[in-house]
Amino acid sequence: MSTAFSPSTLTKHKQVVEQFLDATHSGNVDVIDTLVSANIMTHNFPGGKSPTSREEYKEFFRLWGRGVPQQTFTVLAIVAEADKVVVHYAITGWHDGDLLGIPATGQKIDFTGVAFYRMENSQIAETWLYPDTSTLLQQIGVSR
């Protein structure tokens, strides 16, 4: 059985996800304490370890921010349906720090991805992340 979600709830879901993305990609990881469920579940994060707590989620964004300190994160599309929000995004910047265990290369990065969020009580309760890691790794010279 499907639960109906009002247009205002769907708008709120999108606003929560947009606030989360704006803050975390700008280095404000403390927003995770209010916008992410204490019981967060995550899937398919780069580096082989998906965060299992708010603190691990914060550390993921801290590490990403150190690897690509001057990044631009752009939401290309955002759609909300029921308890899900889907975001198609683009990230550009420079690989100026350790990223996924790869030392800084100084190379420009420019890739896209898709993230799925499941919402619960106006918080992000679950995340599936699908970045184009193949393109990212090619750009920093790890693969061809």
pLDDT digits (tens, 9 = 90+) for 96-133: 999 888 999 999 999 999 999 999 999 999 999 999 99
Return the pLDDT at 1. Answer: 42
Q: Which residues contact 129 (CB under 8 A, 6 or more apart)?
A: 42, 43, 44, 45, 46, 50, 113, 115
pTM recorded for the entire structure: 0.92
Return the pLDDT at 46. Answer: 87
Number of H helices, E strands in the chain: 4, 5
Using alpha carbons, list the distances in angstroms from residue 89 to 39, 58, 83, 110, 144.
25, 19, 20, 11, 23
Report the pLDDT averaged over residues 32-60.
Answer: 94
Residue-range domain boundaries for the chain: 7-139
Report the pLDDT averaged over residues 49-78.
Answer: 95
Q: What tens digit of pLDDT does each residue of 8-45 get?
A: 999 999 999 999 999 999 999 999 999 999 999 999 99
The reply to whether CATH 3.10.450.50 applies to domain 7-139 is yes
Give the pLDDT band (50/70/90) at residue 3. low
